[in-house]
Copies of this chain bind each other. A is one copy, B any other.
């Protein structure tokens, strides 16, 4: 049984996709141990409670310094010691010590086809604004393992989504969530839970069931 902690900052629609996939059997051998939000108002915390999952808020505002928050956050993760940490719209930089403590055990979802529109400064709507201002006609989402860089870790899954005429950043964001993120994030977790992830020369891939 894969023990997972999901880290969130906002509405938690990716968390909901994971919870639904566990409920309907698209993710097997997986238990969400805890949901952690840095934002006390995150609706994701309600979603966790509604699903009977422990919901914890750790706000940087409750700590003396960013460093103190990072330390407490790392300590919490090491105490829970999950098999996998899933960053599902988590707008906090992951401390390097935590990356080192969980090698290839932290998964992130990014709302573009990495290496396009990723890296420092590309988060949330800024990603989709970038896509539209470049005039790209195809975008998508990427599930990748987290390394010490920003969106530089091994790519596990990607799915393309068409940009359409008249798209606004919000419209495009919603389409990328519906047609890519909510599909590939559960698929990635199920693959990890069922030992269907292969690493060869630093390249990760899902072995189809």
Contacts and interface: CB of A to CB of B under 8 A. Distances in A.
Interface of A: 113-117, 132-138, 140, 142, 154-160, 165, 202-205, 207
A interface majority secondary structure: mixed
A15 to B, nearest CB: 23
B116 A137 contact: no
A155 B155 CA distance: 25
B136 A114 contact: yes
19 contacts: A114-B116, A114-B134, A116-B116, A132-B203, A133-B203, A134-B155, A135-B154, A135-B155, A135-B203, A135-B204, A137-B142, A137-B156, A138-B140, A138-B159, A138-B160, A140-B160, A160-B160, A165-B205, A165-B207
Q: How many copies does the complex hold?
A: 2
Given A113-B160, A135-B202, 18 more contacts: A114-B134, A115-B134, A116-B116, A135-B154, A135-B155, A135-B205, A136-B158, A137-B142, A137-B156, A137-B157, A137-B158, A138-B140, A138-B159, A138-B160, A140-B160, A160-B160, A165-B205, A165-B207
Contacts of A159: 138
A137 B135 CA distance: 22
